[in-house]
Amino acid sequence: MTIQEKLKIERLLDTYRRNFAFSHMQNKYLTLCPEAIRRDMIDELMRDAGIDKRGALEAYLTGIFGLDYDNADDRVFIRDYIPATNNLNETITIYYYLGNGTIN
């Protein structure tokens, strides 16, 4: 096996581990605290921080997942995984605005 092949396998393994960890974070959130983000919280953050719904949801998910921007490993999740959860964010937005103000 060449060095390039070994490096490629190591990168794939890192990606697999991050994917598994992020899936676990999402599963834990949806199982244990799906109502942690409320309409009033989103509205307040949008107003106070001047960000849109998606940005507010991403900010809350970052906090709920326990991610810290000062941690290099967490930054990968914040930068690459949180924004890529468009489907989850869209689902949350639909329930949030069509529901009773909580996500359930």
Query: Domain limits of the chain?
Result: 3-98
Instruction: Name the phi and psi angles at 38, rounded to 5.
Output: -110, 160
Strand partners, 38: 102
Identify whether the C-beta of residue 96 lies closer than 8 Å to the C-beta of residue 37.
yes
Look at residue 93 in the predicted model and tell me its pLDDT. Answer: 61
Rounded to an integer, what distance in angstroms lies between the CA atom of residue 82 and that of residue 75? 10
For every one of its 104 residues, what pLDDT tens digit does the chain have, with 9 covering 90 and above?
899 999 999 999 999 999 999 999 988 888 888 788 888 898 999 999 999 888 888 899 899 999 999 999 999 999 989 887 756 666 666 565 555 555 44
Identify whether the C-beta of residue 37 lies closer than 8 Å to the C-beta of residue 92.
yes
pTM of the model: 0.72
Look at residue 10 in the predicted model and tell me its pLDDT. Answer: 96
DSSP 59: H
DSSP strand E in the chain: where?
none
> What is the number of H-type helices and E-type strands within the chain?
5, 0
